[in-house]
């Protein structure tokens, strides 16, 4: 019997998730997938695990999927009823850009478990008011989501979130919100040169904002690119040449433009930014080599300062 066949999690009679290390003698435990009664085996040869009393084909991987689907759906439905969101921060797996303050339930109106999308069936799907999926959760235990599912999510603008449950026996599945926050990988990025950037779920617009110049303390305006996604909106100050041309009509004449060179996703790019007109253009001064006021000279094979030479031998 393989390691991923030995069931290590079960439900007790109150619906709480129980690890094999938390078993209490005399209590009843049930399979999270099929609901049948389980017995606790604690022999000396095999690892401690649960097993079906009447036999069954459920595995540890299938029970982890079942527990996550039940617990995650309960959590999201409860938050939607209370009118709350679910804050999530993540790092883009393709370019490494960090996103903070995203809300998984920002565009969500309902939750579906094993929602049939045709080519794929996500473990948990978050739907908008029209019933269209905006976020799809895929549990990862031993293998990643199938390529067919990944392609379908990308082509239809669905944000895929994978949750790595692996084989960690210390995993507390009762605290499902912490599991999602710590073990989720979100495939959503607002970096326009990133391979994960998807125009199907990211919409950009130019927004004018007011700022205070730290040098002259007067107000001036900047134009940023606002990327709107199902999980929130993020603004970036760098504009392409085309966007800069469009943005020029939003200025009132008290700003100037500068070019900015930087590396983005391993590429050298040139973008334009706005700044207050009082900022001086920084110029790198040309170094000037000056003759030292007291040079070192060679006198009869000895090196000494000119002032010392004058004192000893000339004066």
Of 156, 187, 218, the position where a domain reaches its end is 187
Going by their DSSP bridges, the two strands 133-140 and 159-164 should be labelled as parallel
User: Residue 152 — pLDDT band, cuts 50, 70, 90?
Assistant: very high
Structural domain contains residue 287: no
Domain range enclosing 82 = 62-187
Indicate if 42 and 99 belong to the same structural domain.
no
User: What's the mean pLDDT in 58-73?
Assistant: 82
Q: Name the 3-class secondary structure at 81.
A: helix
User: What's the mean pLDDT in 199-213?
Assistant: 82
Structural domain contains residue 262: yes
Better-predicted residue by pLDDT, 247 or 232:
232
Structural domain contains residue 169: yes
Structural domain contains residue 194: no
Of 187, 222, 244, the position where a domain reaches its end is 187
pLDDT tens digits for range 294-306: 677 777 777 777 7
**Residue-level pLDDT at 273:** 58
pLDDT at 177 over 50: yes
Structural domain contains residue 218: yes
- The reported pTM is 0.71
pLDDT tens digits for range 120-151: 999 999 999 999 999 999 988 888 899 999 99
Indicate if 77 and 179 belong to the same structural domain.
yes
Structural domain contains residue 209: yes
Indicate if 213 and 139 belong to the same structural domain.
no
User: What's the mean pLDDT in 269-283?
Assistant: 55
Indicate if 100 and 178 belong to the same structural domain.
yes
Q: Name the 3-class secondary structure at 152.
A: helix
CA 216 to CA 124: how far, in whole Å? 53
Count the neighbouring beta carbons within 10 Å of the beta carbon of residue 221: 16
pLDDT at 79 over 80: yes
**Residue-level pLDDT at 5:** 56
Indicate if 78 and 153 belong to the same structural domain.
yes
pLDDT tens digits for range 3-56: 445 777 777 877 777 777 777 777 888 887 787 777 777 765 566 767 777 777
Better-predicted residue by pLDDT, 158 or 225:
158
pLDDT at 103 over 90: yes
Indicate if 169 and 249 belong to the same structural domain.
no
User: Residue 282 — pLDDT band, cuts 50, 70, 90?
Assistant: very low
Indicate if 234 and 174 belong to the same structural domain.
no
Of 126, 152, 187, the position where a domain reaches its end is 187
CA distances from residue 246 to 34, 240, 249 in whole angstroms, order as listed:
59, 10, 6
**Residue-level pLDDT at 254:** 46
User: Residue 68 — pLDDT band, cuts 50, 70, 90?
Assistant: confident
Based on the structure, what is the number of domains in the chain? 3
pLDDT tens digits for range 208-221: 777 777 777 777 66
Indicate if 67 and 40 belong to the same structural domain.
no
Indicate if 104 and 133 belong to the same structural domain.
yes
Structural domain contains residue 313: no
Structural domain contains residue 290: no
Going by their DSSP bridges, the two strands 9-12 and 17-19 should be labelled as antiparallel
Indicate if 131 and 215 belong to the same structural domain.
no
Indicate if 160 and 268 belong to the same structural domain.
no
Better-predicted residue by pLDDT, 39 or 87:
87
User: What's the mean pLDDT in 158-186?
Assistant: 84
Indicate if 162 and 229 belong to the same structural domain.
no
Contacts 24+ apart (CB under 8 A), 200-206: 200/154, 200/155, 200/156, 200/157, 201/134, 201/157, 201/158, 201/159, 201/229, 201/230, 202/227, 202/228, 202/229, 203/227, 203/228, 203/229, 204/228, 206/239, 206/243, 206/246, 206/247, 206/250
């Amino acid at each position: 019997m393989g390691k991923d066949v030995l069931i290590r999690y079960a439900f007790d009679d109150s619906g709480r998730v129980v690890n094999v290390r938390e078993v209490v003698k005399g209590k009843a435990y049930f399979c999270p997938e099929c609901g049948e009664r389980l017995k606790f085996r604690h022999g000396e040869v095999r690892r401690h695990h649960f097993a079906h009393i009447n036999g069954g084909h459920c595995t540890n991987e299938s029970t982890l999927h079942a527990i996550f689907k039940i617990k995650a759906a309960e959590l999201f439905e409860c938050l939607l009823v209370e009118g709350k969101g679910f804050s999530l921060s993540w790092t883009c797996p393709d370019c490494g850009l960090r996103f903070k303050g995203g809300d998984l339930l920002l565009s969500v109106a309902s939750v579906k478990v094993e929602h049939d999308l045709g080519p794929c069936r996500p473990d948990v799907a978050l739907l908008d008011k029209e019933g269209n999926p905006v976020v799809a959760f895929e549990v990862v235990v031993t293998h990643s989501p199938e390529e067919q599912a990944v392609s379908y999510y990308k082509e239809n603008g669905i944000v895929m979130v994978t949750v790595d449950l692996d084989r960690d026996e210390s995993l507390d599945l009762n605290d499902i919100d912490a599991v999602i926050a710590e073990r989720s990988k979100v495939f959503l990025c607002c970096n326009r040169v990133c391979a994960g950037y998807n125009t199907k779920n990211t919409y950009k617009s130019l927004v004018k904002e007011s700022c205070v110049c730290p040098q002259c303390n007067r107000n001036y305006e900047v134009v940023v690119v606002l990327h709107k996604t199902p999980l929130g909106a993020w603004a970036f100050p760098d504009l392409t040449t085309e966007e800069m041309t469009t943005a020029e009509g939003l200025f009132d004449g008290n700003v100037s433009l500068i070019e900015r060179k930087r590396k983005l996703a391993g590429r050298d790019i040139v973008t334009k930014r706005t700044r207050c007109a009082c900022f001086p253009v920084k110029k790198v001064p040309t170094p000037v080599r000056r003759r030292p006021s007291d040079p070192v000279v060679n006198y009869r094979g000895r090196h000494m300062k000119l002032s010392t030479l004058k004192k000893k031998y000339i004066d």
